[in-house]
Amino acid sequence: MTKGNVIEILKSAASDSLNKYKAEIRGIFGSVARGEESEASDIDVLVDFKEDADLFDFVGLSLFLEEKLHRPVDIVPTDTIKSDIRNIILKEAIYI
């Protein structure tokens, strides 16, 4: 699956992500964003959760996106990125 395919699938999933899982998909980063992924690579997805989101929303979003993308997904809330790598990740990210 190409980077473009991933972005298109995430764009099409944005409404359900927000309405069902209280999460706004921001973009991707990591090996898929850099075009360095392998068959075993997961997809690193940046998200912003609403304040009232809970663990069920987090897990539900992860399962929902894995089903859509047919690949393992690593959900990373932007507000949880450690400061020492935050700038690197946010600069590398491809935003939707």
Q: Is 85 exposed, middle or buried (0-12, 13-18, 19+ CB in 10 A)?
A: exposed
Q: Is 24 exposed, middle or buried (0-12, 13-18, 19+ CB in 10 A)?
A: middle
Active site residues: 42, 44
Give the span between the Cα atoms of 57 and 91, in whole angstroms.
Answer: 26
